[in-house]
Amino acid sequence: MDPITNRKQSFFSEWLEKLQQESWQLELLISGLALFGIWESQNLLIRFDYYLDIHITSDVSLALNIFNSLLWASWAIFLVNLLIHIIIRGFWIGAIGLRYVSGDIDFDQLNYSEKFTNHYKKRIGSFDQYIERLEKISSVIFSFTFLLFFMLLSFVAFNLVFALFVSLCQRFLDKGSALDQQIIAVFSLLYYGLGLLVLIDFFTLGAFKKIKEPTISTVYLWLYRFYSTVSLSFFYRPLLLNFIDNSYTRRLFFLAIPYGAALWLLGNFHMERYALFPSFEYNSDYSFLISNESINWRYYDDERDKHLNTFKKDGDRILKEKISFISLESYEIEGPLMKLFLEYRRDDDELLTNADKSLSLFRSKGLRHKLMTNSIKDAGIKKLDSLERTELDLLRKIVRQGQKEVDGNPKLVKSFQDIEKENYQIKRSEIKDTYREYRRQYMENKLISIKAELKNLYTIELDQEIVDEKLECEFYIHPNLHERGLLCYLNVDSLNVGKHSLRVWKKNSKGESTHRVVPFLKAK
């Protein structure tokens, strides 16, 4: 190496050494700015979720959903890690400030017993060593944050390539055809099968790279380079290698998977408060029946606009005030009907079950995880499922085994005895269709019963006179802050033009009555 190159290399190394000593300032600056941007971006990510819900197309749905998952996972990683980094780095600065005032730890001044003095000297050492450990932890966490992000990016890019391949196959071949399915099946087997080898090599810190046999090394090198390209892992490879060549940082690398799993598990916990209120999600059981008995914002243009306006910058959800008990559409009522929202309150589950013991919960109440969403099943549906299985088992035994007496069910036995094997599938389909209709009727009656009992919890007075006429109400999620409740319509056509008052009474779980008085103006 010539002298000029040597001088440049030496100067660059000295510059890096100096920069390394002052890197904590850049770390704090980047962490602070990043945390501010991350927190402010939450509203943008929520709006992006809704954009995908409305505008996503089937051709790119898988790829966009994978990308959206990357955004949310990255948001959680940076938020948690950088927050921890700032706390520890701030603690480190505080320790340095204390050192300026108090110097090192004077164990003799503390006057502890010899046992405790030796213990602290062994576990803590000098105060300078403690500050050094805090410095090392802070720097490693900062680097670990970006390493986690790039590892997640590799995983997403790896799956994104497969998703794009599937989308291309479905676009240029007949979707669902035999050829389409065969090509996707073969590609997925090869792609994920060989990718598993690279993944094993990754978490064993290069077990396959240590094989000395030239042929195997050559073949694996080409395989490794392919997956390095599709997963974009070449981008952060130097950071990874420098991370795992040190025993201190290597231990943190092995925590990457359990750490990510812990973030995912903790992030999916939520508190279920409205166990008897039907779900408005697309994938909920009997969603078509629930939609028939509800006003779902997803199916109406004006309600959808209100719902999405919740996430506008100048109307952020956190700045809005929660509806308490009751809300009218507006102060001035011009038409013959007044729109009235009655809030589903926290103790309504208990009131409903006390009013009708036969009501069973849609979901288990309390803290739940997404993996436990279907942990509770409706008792009535469960009973119908059991009867259906019993009848199907009986049919199978009689038709296929020729049995004449089964489980002491002579009525069913007699109705099934004349069924020939050729008609078995027809009769089986009839039974399944019958019980499907039973379940539909049961769920429809349950939704109507819950809505009727919820309406009965309220007493409504219009100008100090109890409203005797029947209210038309539907399950509703209000666009304000997504409060649950009933949206009801009250006929006010007979009222004179002018000011009126609406009073709504309701008993709570303790038997105490509460009410709200809301004035309104009949304009026409």
Close Cβ partners of 225 (under 8 Å, ≥ 6 residues apart): none
* Residue 300 domain flag: yes
Q: Are 328 and 338 in contact (CB under 8 A)?
A: yes
* Residue 213 domain flag: no
Number of domains in the chain: 1
3-state secondary structure of 333: strand
* Residue 359 domain flag: yes
- What's the pLDDT band for 301 if we cut at 50, 70, 90? low
* Residue 293 domain flag: yes
Range of the domain at 494: 287-375+448-522
* Residue 78 domain flag: no
Close Cβ partners of 28 (under 8 Å, ≥ 6 residues apart): 86, 89
485 φψ region: left (φ > 0), alpha (ψ -120 to 50), beta (else): left
- The whole-angstrom separation of Cα 232 and Cα 226 is 10
Phi, psi (deg, nearest 5) at residue 127: -65, -30
Q: Are 52 and 64 in contact (CB under 8 A)?
A: yes
What is the pLDDT, as a whole number, of residue 405? 47
- What's the pLDDT band for 4 if we cut at 50, 70, 90? low
**Residue 356's domain is classified under what CATH number?**
2.60.40.10
What pLDDT, in 10s, does the model give residues 414-448?
555 555 555 777 778 888 888 888 888 888 888 88
Of 342, 277, 293, 287, which Cα lies nearest the Cα of 445?
293
Q: Which helix (H) or strand (E) holds 491?
A: strand 484-491
Structure tokens at 67: 């990308």
Structure letter (DSSP) for residue 339:
E
Average pLDDT on 492-509 reads 83
- The whole-angstrom separation of Cα 262 and Cα 265 is 5
What pLDDT, in 10s, does the model give residues 165-208?
877 777 666 665 676 678 888 888 888 888 888 888 887 887 88
What pLDDT, in 10s, does the model give residues 370-427?
665 544 567 788 888 888 888 888 777 776 655 544 455 555 555 555 555 557 777 7
* Residue 479 domain flag: yes
Question: Which residues share a beta bridge with 502?
Answer: 462, 518
Determine what percent of the chain falls in helix, strand and coil, rounding each to the nearest 5. Answer: 65, 10, 25
* Residue 256 domain flag: no
* Residue 249 domain flag: no
- Tally: H helices and E strands in the chain: 18, 12
What pLDDT, in 10s, does the model give residues 100-138?
777 777 777 778 888 888 888 888 878 888 888 888 888
